[in-house]
A and B are shown apart, each in its own frame.
Chain A
Amino acid sequence: DTAVSQTPKYLVTQMGNDKSIKCEQNLGHDTMYWYKQDSKKFLKIMFSYNNKELIINETVPNRFSPKSPDKAHLNLHINSLELGDSAVYFCASSRVTSYEQYFGPGTRLTVT
């Protein structure tokens, strides 16, 4: 019974392509997040949705666009991929804002 799941787990693609990562949580949480972890393991918030409303939109290139079709799903679409986008992307959820967060397994994106 996976609480927060992401697909795909690995994504290898070429520069210039467009790709999407999907996230689903079955915890009944109201808030979902996208984080980026770089090669030095530094974790940084990218986006957050609370009840399908965007509440965090950090300084991220506008090639990245999140979409939340419902409270249980948060997807990340990336246009015109660049080498620097290579990283591990984590989805997370929390019952409400400013509360404990539960992370998905991560999606390792490699842009060649």
Chain B
Amino acid sequence: GIQVEQSPPDLILQEGANSTLRCNFSDSVNNLQWFHQNPWGQLINLFYIPSGTKQNGRLSATTVATERYSLLYISSSQTTDSGVYFCAVERNDYKLSFGAGTTVTVRA
């Protein structure tokens, strides 16, 4: 199956800092999504982004499908950004495969 690697595994930020999370995948995909799992366990869909660039407030994402990676940018981080960020991809088989996640801790 398709392999999904996320880096870094852990990230500690001071409030107000910017950061970049990376997702590499092993094959071409027709579906790529970023999720945030907050400390209470809720999974929130951030972006559906199989290619191109999208922005939503302080978050933005870019997927370069031809080079098999996606980046999630967090700007002016806030404590509410803490949690685990997951990248998930699908290769034409309806099955979304998740990476191991990046755990982000934002300190006040």
Q: Within the complex, what minimum Cβ distance (angstroms) separates A89 from chain B?
A: 12
Which A-chain residue is minimally distant from B91 (CB atoms)? A98
* Interface segment, one of B20-28, B42-50, B62-70, B72-80: B42-50
Contact assessment for A101 and B45 in the assembled complex, using a CB-CB cutoff below 8 Å: yes
A101 and B94 alpha carbons, distance in the complex (Å): 11
With A41-B37, A42-B100, A43-B86 as contacts: A103 and B43 at CB distance below 8 Å: yes
Interface size on B, residues (CB 8 A): 23
Cross-interface CB contact of B94 among A56, A92, A106, cutoff 8 Å: A56
Per-residue CB proximity of B69-108 to A under 8 Å, as 1/0?
Answer: 0000000000000001010101010111110110000000
Q: Within the complex, what minimum Cβ distance (angstroms) separates A40 from chain B?
A: 8
Contact assessment for A105 and B31 in the assembled complex, using a CB-CB cutoff below 8 Å: no
B5-48 at interface with A (beta carbon < 8 Å): 30-31, 33, 35, 37, 41-45, 48
Contact assessment for A106 and B31 in the assembled complex, using a CB-CB cutoff below 8 Å: no
Q: Does A13 interact with chain B (Cβ within 8 Å)?
A: no
A42 and B6 alpha carbons, distance in the complex (Å): 12
Q: Does A11 interact with chain B (Cβ within 8 Å)?
A: no
Which B-chain residue is minimally distant from A102 (CB atoms)? B45
If A43-B88, A98-B31, A103-B44 are given as contacts, then 5 extra A-B residue pairs at C-beta distance below 8 Å, sorted by A number, are: A50-B94, A55-B94, A98-B94, A103-B35, A103-B42
- The 19 listed contacts between A and B (C-beta, < 8 Å) are A41-B37, A41-B84, A41-B100, A43-B86, A43-B98, A48-B94, A48-B95, A50-B94, A55-B94, A56-B95, A58-B95, A98-B92, A98-B94, A99-B31, A100-B48, A101-B45, A102-B45, A103-B43, A106-B41
Counting from the closest, the 6 A-B pairs by CB-CB distance are A100-B48, A103-B43, A43-B98, A98-B31, A97-B94, A45-B95
